[in-house]
A = this chain, B = another copy of it.
Amino acid sequence: MGNILVQYYSETGHTQEMAELVAQGARRVLGIEVRLKPLAECSLADVLWCDGLALGAPTHLASIPWRVKKWWDEAVDQAWGRIDGKFACAFSSEGGLGGGAELTCMGLLTMLMNYGFLVFGATDYVAPLHTLHYGVALPGHPKTEAEKELCLRLGIRLGEWVAYYVDGNEACHPRNATYSRHG
């Protein structure tokens, strides 16, 4: 069984909506167990438990909100050097198109690289003009079917890499997927 943690921090509910869809996507992958948790309910044990992590936060000044940074600066610090090699991706809700969500996703991933995570985005277009190359970066909350599909796909991809690499389940490699990858 591959273990996936979807950790999110949300103030307005936008990022929480995204997180729920990411978790739903991950659960579609064979043999994956998912924990969906707000930051405030997470402990280091959750990070130690997981094989893959989807980390979500709203975009604050194109960067990680301080509460999220505090948690990773402090709660995980003692495990530094002992959690290398887990898989991770990111998602962020921004105030508007061009508002810094891509930069926030990369900021989250950069922080996780420091802990030794293997980080990724997805090459897929889930619909015309909708992709998630560095994670899901979108204005407001997921409103359209395409925006919801972005979140689902991120969870699916995380599940696929964990199922393929950690569980050794060849059938779960994205190349064997039945969904359209380039809508």
Could you list which residues of chain A lie within 8 angstroms of chain B, going by C-beta atoms?
A: 60-67, 69-70, 72-74, 80-82, 84-85, 87, 95-103, 106-107, 110-111, 113-125, 128-140, 147, 150, 161, 164-165, 168, 173-175, 181-182
The 4 A-B residue pairs with the shortest CB-CB distance, nearest first, are: A66-B70, A102-B102, A66-B69, A96-B131
Which among A74, A117, A121, A164 has the highest number of chain B CB atoms within 10 Å? A121
- Taking the nearest CB of chain B, how far is it from the CB of A57, in angstroms? 11
Q: Which of B84, B97, B138 contacts A138 (CB 8 A)?
A: B97
Partner of A123, one of B65, B80, B123, B137: B80
Partner pick for A62 among B70, B96, B110, B128, CB 8 A cutoff: B110
Apart from A82-B175, A113-B119, A118-B161, list 10 A-B contacts with CB within 8 A.
A61-B72, A61-B115, A63-B64, A63-B110, A87-B118, A95-B129, A98-B133, A99-B131, A102-B102, A129-B140
Q: Chain A: interface secondary structure?
A: mixed
Q: Which residues does chain B contribute within 8 Å of A85, judged by CB atoms?
A: 161, 164-165, 173-174
Q: Oligomeric state, in number of copies? A: 4
Q: A70-B66, A103-B102, A173-B85 are in contact. Are A123 and B129 (CB under 8 A)?
A: no
- Which partner residue on chain B sits nearest A182 by CB separation? B81
**Contacting pair B118 A113 (CB below 8 A):** no
Q: Of B63, B73, B181, which is within 8 A of A60 by CB?
A: B73
Q: Which of B114, B130, B136 contacts A133 (CB 8 A)?
A: B114
**Residue of B with least CB distance to A166:** B165
Q: Indicate if the CB atoms of B116 and A117 lie closer than 8 Å.
A: no
CA distance A87 to B135 in the complex (A): 17
